[in-house]
Structure 1
Amino acid sequence: MEQDGYVVLEDFLRPAECEELVAAGLELTKQAPDSTEKSIFSTIEGERQQLKDSYFLESNDKISFFFEAGALGSDSKLQVDPSVSLNKVGHALHLLHPIFRCYTFSDRVKAVCQELNFLEPSVVQSMYIYKNPGLGGEVSAHQDASYLYTDPIPPIGFWIALEDATVQNGCLWMAPGSHKSGVHRRLIRNPDKQSKEALIYDRGAPVYPQSAFTAVPVSKGTCILIHGNVVHKSAHNKSDKSRHAYTFHVIEKHNNNYSPDNWLQEGKNAPFMNLYTTPQIE
């Protein structure tokens, strides 16, 4: 982690455990809203509907559904089967869904946090990511700390491959060592309350050369630990195979500041739960 900014933990979950989570993820697709007010998720500069969208801002304590841009027509009606229409579901699966809660607050996750010397690790958000065949959109190069800024100790991401992640279906690409150069820009709550944009970036998008990135293909059940400052991305899934993943972010609460202008904030219905003391089952 210190050298590259990420660590690959193979066999973090057993195949049957991955299959249980995939089944839960597919079940969620049946609960997606059928209204015309569908929220699209995209990280590409210029496609920032979600940054103005109260649906996104208010998803900290809910199970919310975000569609792929390519899944919807101009009338917001689905152009594809609902089972392959979603980009992701978030951001409170770890609180509200019994299966995802069970895996998030597991002894395996606790053991990793102890290895990382966390004193009070707390889960702030969780996401099920679909990366569906043909539709799974590009995730542009970014640092997780841009969105979940903490100081002085950065957040850690747990990214768990529930299916084989290959170069063809959109595996992660990491820029080794990039975590040593600080936080390059931040997404913050807009101080201009009259603006239509609830969230803004504090500076322009950095440009990263493709040569800085290394593909990290992994097999089903692998967990990639991601330092909050390491730059990473994934490509469009142009293959015929999905690349489902479950990911959540952990912050150190002890002697560490979670920025009050981060988009996601702790709330009455979405407390940042201590990993060491929170039971797997309510």
Structure 2
Amino acid sequence: MTTKAGYFDWGVCMSTPATMQAATTHFSESGYVIFTSFCTGAETSSLRAQANKLIGDFHNARPTSSPASVFTTEEQTRKMDAGYFLRSASRISCFLEEKQAGDDASPAINKIGHALHDLDAVFGPFSRQEKVRAVAAALGVAPAVLVQSMYILKGARVGGKVTAHRDATFVRASEGVCLGYWWALQDADEENACLWAVPGSHRDGREMKRFVRGEQGMVFEGQEDADAYPEDRYMALPMREGDLVMLDGRVVHKSKENRSDKSRHAYSIHVVAGGLEERGWLRREEGFPFREL
């Protein structure tokens, strides 16, 4: 795996202010920064094990005659069960992979979301530990409100692509600042569908479409431009297990299908400055507020 611009050792950043400053400068200019060796092997193993438990519980509890929602970024409003998706803001919900390996009693899962950080005994403490808060503070978001979490799976040979998008389309901060954390829980490279980003796209000034609650359910408003960037503008972001990439909510990124024999698991959270826009899809049930990181 070749080291590219934008990779900074987390331990060095914490002990060397000049290195942390270089990392934050890169984030400001490029819209992403990767902190290598952010997590220990014990931490990544613990998160993977807990995700496997949640998936096992889901399969054991789900009647075969009542399939869960299928998640796909290409046709969100048509392919997802809107009610199931909206309720997931306050729950731990599993979403099925669009493509499956066959007639399996335990179909492949695409992701688990979106309240792991508040409801799970393993993901909760991990999401709110001091070093996670330190990253937000270093990037200028403090206090930060933690609004969603996702365990993302790209299973070997069935992992679907995630089309070009900006996270701020879906996580609309009232004060305009959204940060995405994305931890590699397994090695992620070009073979098994690592992330790809368009450096500097967070500063292009283009209008973003918005994913909101409309009269007919969830709809996109505004003009979409995330898929307008040519392939040569994208940069692959290969990562080792335990690395963390921070993404500005406005930076364009995507991932390809995983047709390799290697799975690619990740954990992601989003934090915002202030709160969320009123019309966004993320809305908690009464008595279950979003809390600070």
- TM-score bracket, normalised by the shorter chain, equals 0.7 to 0.9
Measure, in 2, the Cα distance between the counterparts of 1:159 and 1:112.
12
Give the number of equivalent residue pairs: 260
Across the aligned residues of Structure 1 and Structure 2, the Cα RMSD in angstroms comes to 1.8
Q: Of residues 220, 224, 233 in structure 1, which corresponds to 2:245?
A: 224
CA deviation map 1:184-206 (0-9, x unaligned)? 2111111xx3x3xx111113542
| Structure 2 counterpart SS, 1:123 | strand
The code of the aligned residue for 2:70 comes to I
| TM-score normalised by L of structure 2 | 0.84
From the superposition, tell whether residues 118 and 263 of structure 1 become closer, same or farther in structure 2 (CA, over 3 Å).
Answer: same
Question: Contact 1:60–1:270 (CA<8 Å) still a contact in 2?
Answer: no
Instruction: Provide the rounded CA distance (Å) in 1 between the counterparts of 2:112 and 2:85.
Output: 11
Could you tell me which residue of structure 2 aligns to residue 38 of structure 1? Answer: 68
- Offset at 1:272? 1.4
- 5+ unaligned residues in a row in structure 2: which ranges? 1-26
Q: Any residues of structure 2 matched to 1:86-105 within 5 Å, and which?
A: 86-105=109-128
Correspondence for 1:280: none
Using a 3 Å threshold, how does the CA distance of structure 1 residues 105 and 213 change in structure 2: closer, same or farther?
A: same
Letter of the 1:108 partner, please give it: K
Bigger proportion of residues as helix: 2
User: 1:210 pairs with 222, 231, 235, which one?
Assistant: 231
Quickly say closer, same or farther: Cα 1:171–1:270, change in 2 above 3 A: farther
Secondary structure at 1:136 match in 2 = coil
Q: Tell me the TM-score normalised to structure 1 length.
A: 0.87
State, as a whole percentage, how many aligned pairs show the same letter: 36
| Structure-2 separation of matches of 1:19 and 1:101 | 15
Query: 5+ unaligned residues in a row in structure 1: which ranges?
Result: 73-77, 276-282
Report if the CA contact (8 A) 1:39-1:67 is conserved. yes
For residues 47 and 119 of structure 1, the distance between their equivalents in structure 2, rounded to whole angstroms, comes to: 33
Q: Does 1:274 align with 2:292?
A: yes
1:179 is paired with a residue whose SS is helix
Among 73, 86, 90, the alignment partner of 1:57 is: 86
Work out which structure has the larger RCO, using CA pairs closer than 8 Å and 6 or more positions apart in sequence.
1
State the Cα distance separating 1:148 from its structure 2 match.
Answer: 0.9
Instruction: Find out whether 1:80 has 2:104 as its counterpart.
Output: yes
Is the alpha carbon distance of 1:147 and 1:46 closer, same or farther for their aligned partners in structure 2, counting shifts above 3 Å?
Answer: closer
Asked if the contact 1:13–1:222 (Cα under 8 Å) also holds between the matched residues in 2, the reply is yes
Is the 1:42–1:48 contact (alpha carbons within 8 Å) kept by the matching residues of 2? no
1:147-178, CA deviations, whole angstroms, 9 ceiling, x for partnerless residues? 01124432100100000001111100000000
Selected match of 2:281 from 236, 251, 263: 263
Give the whole-Å Cα distance in 2 for the aligned partners of 1:46 and 1:228.
19
Asked if 1:9 is matched to 2:35, the reply is yes
